[in-house]
Amino acid sequence: MRVTQRVKKLLSLYESDNPGTKTNLARILMEGRLSGSGRVMVLPIDGSARNFLEYPAGYDPQYHFQLAVDAGLSALAAPLGMLETGADTFAGAIPLILKMNSATMSSSHGKSNHGIIGSVRDALRLGCVGIGCTVHPGDKNGNLEEVRSMVEEAKSYGLAVVLWSSPGGESEEDETALDNTAYAGHLASLMGAHMICVRIPGSHLHHTEPTVATAQRPLMGGTSTLSDRVRHVRQSCLNGRRIVLFEGNQLKSDDDVFDDIRGIRDGGGHGYVLPYNSLYRQFEPALQMLDQSLKIYQGKA
């Protein structure tokens, strides 16, 4: 596998990691149409079975494997059962990330319950390049300690670690507030994640009480554009020394999604995670959307 200078520079930021982990990170960074650019686009499959009611083909995990491969994405992330369904058919076709936890039936705003449904041994058995976990550092009953032990084990075997870090809270505004999003990314960095995925941040702040607002005054007026907000989130993740991806958790028009991708690109974000808009459509329209998304990151659209 040829590794570009840009990717080598990114790998050099992970000073404590072993060659196995760096090799697995390189496999993601050198895969697909963004290969070698230092940018990443991941297709994660998770969540409720209701996701696929409109287009039942999505109930078949191999549909998503094929979509990720044909689109030329960097990696596919999914829970244990879904990866087991296509791991042999698509062996070596695209890097796999085992999503170790998944939202339970009791999940709702204010109750971000994620059950552990996979193991590091499962990831090794399936040939995955890494593990992924969702953490909610803003919830009172967060799962940080539970996930931290899995991070340690994965690193000991040379696997990459991806943390989806969402603030948690009572409302959508809590989830997407710029200060909350930046802090969620920061905490994922402190937990040792190699790649961090956060929500696309809004321009509003959650903490506006006088004592905190004074400390956050530098943010006011300088975060009017998405690219500005992306820069701040990256800065919060060890001053840009970690790979930071952004995820939109709401259905939007394709044009709005493409605008988001441009803002992430222009702000120096390393990539975009496409959960919803690429799921709720048939195969060819989904492929077209992913094609346009990749062209934006390549500077072709």
Domain containing 98 — which CATH number? Answer: 3.20.20.70
Give CA–CA dist 281/250, Å, rounded.
15
Taking only the tens place, the pLDDT of each residue in 249-289 is 667 888 999 999 999 999 999 999 975 666 678 899 989 99
Note whether residue 258 is domain-resident: yes
Annotate 130-146 with DSSP letters as a single string.
Answer: EEEEEE-TTSTT--HHH
Q: Which amino acid is at 70?
A: D
Note whether residue 4 is domain-resident: no
Torsional sign, CA 7, 257, 138, 221: positive
- Host H or E run for residue 195: strand 195-199
Note whether residue 23 is domain-resident: no
DSSP 200: P
Q: Which amino acid is at 55?
A: Y
- Decide: 159 and 190 in contact? Cβ < 8 Å: no
Note whether residue 29 is domain-resident: no
Note whether residue 20 is domain-resident: no
| pTM of the entire predicted model | 0.92
- Host H or E run for residue 152: helix 144-156
pLDDT at 104: 63
Residue 156's domain comprises 39-297
Note whether residue 15 is domain-resident: no
Torsional sign, CA 112, 113, 118, 119: positive
Q: pLDDT tier at 109 (50, 70, 90 boundaries)?
A: very low
Give 209-213 contacts, CB < 8 A, sequence gap 24+. none
Residue 138 has pLDDT above 90, yes or no: no
- Decide: 13 and 273 in contact? Cβ < 8 Å: no
Query: Please, what is the angle between helix 254-266 and helix 226-236, to 10°?
Result: 50
Domain total in the chain: 1
- Host H or E run for residue 26: helix 19-29
- Higher confidence at residue 90 or residue 55? 90
pLDDT at 281: 80
Note whether residue 252 is domain-resident: yes
Query: Please, what is the angle between helix 254-266 and helix 283-297, to 10°?
Result: 30
Closest residue by Cα to residue 273 from 4, 119, 10, 47:
47
Note whether residue 2 is domain-resident: no
pLDDT at 113: 64
